[in-house]
Amino acid sequence: NAGVTQTPKFRILKIGQSMTLQCTQDMNHNYMYWYRQDPGMGLKLIYYSVGAGITDKGEVPNGYNVSRSTTEDFPLRLELAAPSQTSVYFCASSRANRGGGLQPQHFGDGTRLSIL
Amino acid sequence: GQNIDQPTEMTATEGAIVQINCTYQTSGFNGLFWYQQHAGEAPTFLSYNVLDGLEEKGRFSSFLSRSKGYSYLLLKELQMKDSASYLCAAGTGGGYNKLIFGAGTRLAVHP
Q: Report the residue from B42, B98, B104 with minimal CB separation from A42.
A: B104
Residues of B in contact with A33 (CB under 8 A): 98
Instruction: In whole angstroms, give the CA distance from residue B100 to residue B111.
Output: 33
Between A104-113, B15-24, B96-105, the lowest mean confidence (pLDDT) is in B96-105
Q: Which of B88, B97, B106 best probes binding to A when mutated, by most A CB atoms within 10 angstroms?
A: B97
Instruction: Nearest chain B residue to A95 by CA: give it.
Output: B97
Q: Please give the single-letter amino acid code of residue B79.
A: Q
Of A9, A5, A17, A7, the residue nearest A63 (C-alpha): A17
Given CB atoms, is A27 within the 8 Å cutoff of chain B? no
Radius of gyration of chain B (CA): 13
Residue A99's pLDDT band (cuts 50, 70, 90)? low
Tell me: pLDDT of B8 over 90. yes
More confident residue, B42 or B92: B42
Q: Report the residue from A45, A104, A107 with minimal CB separation from B48.
A: A104
Q: State how far residue B102 is from chain A, nearest Cα, in angstroms.
A: 5
Per-residue pLDDT tens digits for B50-103: 999 999 989 999 999 999 999 999 999 999 999 999 999 999 866 677 899 999
Cα angle A10-A31-A71, degrees, rounded to a multiple of 5: 80
Instruction: In whole angstroms, give the CA distance from residue A52 to residue A54.
Output: 6
Q: Please give the single-letter amino acid code of residue B84.
A: A
Q: What is the pLDDT of residue A90?
A: 98
Instruction: In whole angstroms, give the CA distance from residue A37 to residue A114.
Output: 13
